[in-house]
Amino acid sequence: MAPTNVMMMENNYTDTRTSATPALAVTSAEFARYVGIPAVGDMDDDQIADINRSLTMATDYVERMTSRCMMTQTRQLRLDAITPNSLARAQAYIAYGIPVSSGVFAAEDITIPSVPVVSISSIVYYTSDNTETTFATASYRLDALREPPRVLINAGYSWPSGMRNEDSLVVEYVAGYTAASAVPPGLKVAILRAAAGEYESREIAEDDAMLKRAIEPFRIYL
């Protein structure tokens, strides 16, 4: 959208959906009511397909702008393990006599860039000789109460050592609201607003002030 001990989003990462496209959180009937067009039952298949295309594009746009997954999906976060910033910060702590077990380094977390997170399926890491190993689930826990969520190391454990510098960690997780009824109404309004513009002009009006206002409260800043 990252220090050895604190694996936050300072380092390079990719976060992608690996499951099939989930169901839409907003129905074609809701869209028809929003824009004031005939009920879905009075439309032909082509009209319904056009609406669903607009809703799909609008959903993708709102998800991208807010870092929120509308409906449940499997995602894969791939991370690098070490950055120069992390080493410099650790050295600065040591230089000032601050133990690296205190302050920011006590967190030892991986920030998950998409919300809401339902569960962590697995964490895989790669060593410098490219050996793939699954990190034991007893070693970590999910803190989904804050946004963005994070994976924390449990007491008595530590993150794997000897990881390669690039593409070192792969976190597979499930994110999204578990039902359309659980999606906040404000997010649905944002999708409807974006879809209305796409349906009318085949382009989402990104400079639309009302769309921006609908999206802003739901943005996640990493």
pLDDT tens sequence for the chain (222 residues): 332 223 334 447 899 999 999 999 999 999 999 998 877 777 788 888 999 999 999 999 999 999 999 999 999 999 886 444 445 555 555 565 555 443 333 345 888 999 999 999 999 999 999 999 999 999 999 999 988 899 999 999 988 888 888 899 999 999 999 999 999 999 999 999 999 999 988 899 899 999 999 999 999 987
Whether residue 161 is found in the same domain as residue 110: yes
Whether residue 136 is found in the same domain as residue 106: yes
Question: CB–CB of 114/22 below 8 Å?
Answer: no
Question: CB–CB of 86/6 below 8 Å?
Answer: yes
Whether residue 62 is found in the same domain as residue 76: no
Cα-based angle 134, 158, 174 (whole degrees, multiple of 5): 45
Whether residue 50 is found in the same domain as residue 90: no
What is the widest separation between alpha-carbon atoms in the chain? 73
Whether residue 170 is found in the same domain as residue 135: yes
Query: Which residues face 64 on adjacent strands?
Result: none
Question: Given this model, what pLDDT does residue 42 score?
Answer: 74
Sign of torsion over alpha carbons 178, 182, 183, 188: positive
User: What's the first-to-final CA gap in the chain, in angstroms?
Assistant: 8
Distance CA 187, CA 212 (A): 11
Domain membership of residue 88 (yes or no) is yes
E strand or H helix that includes residue 184: none
Question: Given this model, what pLDDT does residue 23 score?
Answer: 94
Q: Using alpha carbons, select from 2, 8, 164 the residue that is nearest to residue 86.
A: 2
Domain membership of residue 133 (yes or no) is yes
What tokens does 35 get?
Answer: 């824009």
Domain membership of residue 121 (yes or no) is yes
Whether residue 96 is found in the same domain as residue 150: yes
Domain membership of residue 127 (yes or no) is yes
Alpha helices in the chain (DSSP H): 28-35, 45-66, 84-95, 185-201, 209-215
Domain membership of residue 5 (yes or no) is no
Whether residue 152 is found in the same domain as residue 118: yes
Query: Helix axis angle, 28-35 relative to 185-201, nearest 10°?
Result: 70
Question: Given this model, what pLDDT does residue 204 score?
Answer: 93
Report the domain count for the chain.
2
Domain membership of residue 187 (yes or no) is yes
Whether residue 98 is found in the same domain as residue 59: no
Whether residue 92 is found in the same domain as residue 76: yes
Distance CA 199, CA 216 (A): 22
E strand or H helix that includes residue 17: strand 13-17
What tokens does 156 get?
Answer: 């008595």
The residue range of the domain holding 112 is 72-175
Domain membership of residue 4 (yes or no) is no
| DSSP 8-state class, residue 127 | B
Domain membership of residue 2 (yes or no) is no
